[in-house]
Structures are given as structure tokens and as C-alpha cells.
Amino acid sequence: MEGVWVEVKSYPKEVLSLHYAPRRRIAQISFRGQIMPAPGVLANFARTLAELGVRILALNFTSRNAERYVTSFIDLSETRATLKEVVNRVRKLEFVKEIRVSGPVIRGLVVDEHSFPLTILGGRGEAMILPRKLFSRMLAGLRKELGASGWALAFNQGLIFGRELARDLKLFVRGPTRDLLRALTRIYTALGWGKVIDAGFNLFTGEGFLTVADNFEAEAYTSSEEPVCHFTRGAVTGALLEIVGRKFEVTEVRCAAKGDEYCHFSIGPAKSLKLG
């Protein structure tokens, strides 16, 4: 069985949505620009801020055909330049066509007011941000309120998620089944659900495994006597059903909510699609 190992160590990535620094002078500045004959839109913007003594706290760069969109949270605490002066300098850059700026909503709190919708795949898909712990607590709440039926519901929601994610991938990306499955393990991590550190699947026998570190579902539990990642089970089941076209049984045999180091799922052929 072929495994797919992903290095455990990775870098944090700040999703530019809000930033809180009550003792700093922070703001948001964004612009729409045009592509230049030579690369340098982002470099020139960053250089301009550096020359003014402005620090970039977080930044997003988006390309759409011949246009470039840049939005950033900035810190002016160490410069004598005013926000108006910063905006005027950025506006003078030859590639800037439109500029927007926002100050704190509440003292020290900057919220991204310039960007919508959030997109992936170069604008082919739209996304939203849902805090990991919040989603984990929502799923744990289903179990608390509905008993075993709550976990069955979580599984079914995961099944829908997995199928839809795999269906979208097939619409935009062409490749053999094995490569699509490998891509989905990377996508699961890229979306922030959990860190897939090892995976393998045999297309001939229908047997496989998936090992996930820091899976979001386990975060709501301090301890559990049984595995809790039923949404993830459903997501794996749905993705396999969509990509491979067959039914599989996905079982969580180790779970971080029980005190295990990782959440580990085994995969095998199923005669019928189990929904809970």
C-alpha cells in the first residue's frame, strides 16, 4: 500500500480577516492595480511602506487576469507618517488604479472591510472562514443534544462535504484517481481542518488509512471514551465515493480526544454505505 507522507513541521498562515493590537496604531490599506510589463507590484508596494517606516502585519495578494488586488493590515506605531501620507504615497505608484483605507472599528481592532467574496482556485470557488474550535463545539453540541443521532448527523454532513469537495476538484482539475485522492489530503490540510501527515489507499483492494494531526473535531473534548471525529469519517467516505465510485467503510481507530497522539482512520470495502 502506497503511503503519502507529509512533513509534520509547517508554518502558520495568518488569514487576513481581523487583527487586534490595542496599543498599536494599525489600519487597513488596499488597492486595485494593473499588471506591469515586469513583475514588481507587490515589491514596490512593500518598499514604499518600508521607506515610510510602516510595518506590514498581514497581507493578501490576488491576481485576476490583468488586475492585481492587494489588501494589508499595517502598523504605523513606529513612524511619524500619518495614514493620509501613507495613502498618498501608495496612490502615486504607477500601477495603482484605486485605493481604499480603513481605520480600527474599535480601538486596536482592524476588520477586513475591503474583501468579499473570499475565493479559492483562482476565483473558481468561494470560501468562508469558520473558527476551528467553534465548529468543533458545534459538532460536540449535536452529540450532547441528540445523543448518538448527533454523531450520525455529523457523519452525514461530512459525507456531503466530502462529496461536494471532491466533485468541485474534478470539475477544475484533471488527473488520475490516485492523484486526485492525494490532492484531497493536501486540500484538507490547506483548508485548516486538520494536518494529514500520512495516507495510503489501494485501489485494487479498497483498503487504506489516513492519519491526521490536530484534527479540528477533537478540539472540543478534554477527554472522551470513544472516537469523536464522525464528520471527518463522513468526509473521507464521501470523497472516496465521489472519486473512486465505490462505497467504503471508514473507521476511526485512534482519536486525539481519547488521548491518542493522532486521529487515525482505517478504510475498507463496505457492502452498504453506513451513515453513522
Q: 144 is written with which cell numbers?
A: 450532547
The residue extents of the domains of the chain are: 18-114, 131-269
Instruction: In whole angstroms, give the CA distance from residue 101 to residue 95.
Output: 17
Cα separation of 70 and 187, whole Å? 24
CA pair distance 131, 151, nearest whole angstrom: 20
What are the tens digits of pLDDT across the range 226-276?
A: 999 999 999 999 999 999 999 999 999 999 999 999 999 999 998 754 444
CB burial class (10 A; 0-12, 13-18, 19+) of residue 174? exposed
The mean predicted confidence, pLDDT, of the chain is 92
CA dist., res. 86 & res. 178, Å (int):
50
Amino acid at 151: W
Above 60 in pLDDT, residue 55?
yes
Q: What is the DSSP code string of 6-74?
A: --S-------TTEEE-TTS-EEEEEEEEE--SSS-HHHHHHHHHHHTTPEEEEEEEEEETTEEEEEEEE
- pLDDT at position 275 is 47
How confident is the model over 119-154, as pLDDT tens digits? 988 888 888 999 999 999 999 999 899 988 999 999
Report whether pLDDT(42) > 80: yes
pLDDT at 8: 55
Cα 168 from Cα 119, distance rounded (Å): 13
- Give the CB-side neighbour count of residue 58, counting CA atoms within 13 A: 17
Residue 109 parent element (H or E):
strand 109-111
Could you give the 3-state DSSP secondary structure of residue 102? strand
* Nearest alpha-carbon partner for 183 in 158, 157, 204, 201: 201
Alpha-helical runs (H) found in 76-176: 83-91, 132-146, 148-172
18-114 against 131-269: fold identical: no
Please state which architecture CATH assigns to domain 131-269. 2-Layer Sandwich (3.30)
Rounded to two decimals, the pTM is: 0.86
Task: Tell me the pLDDT band of 7, cut-offs 50, 70 and 90.
Answer: low
Over residues 199-221, mean pLDDT: 94
**Which pLDDT does position 272 carry in this prediction?**
59
Task: Residues 18-114: name the CATH superfamily.
Answer: ACT domain (3.30.70.260)
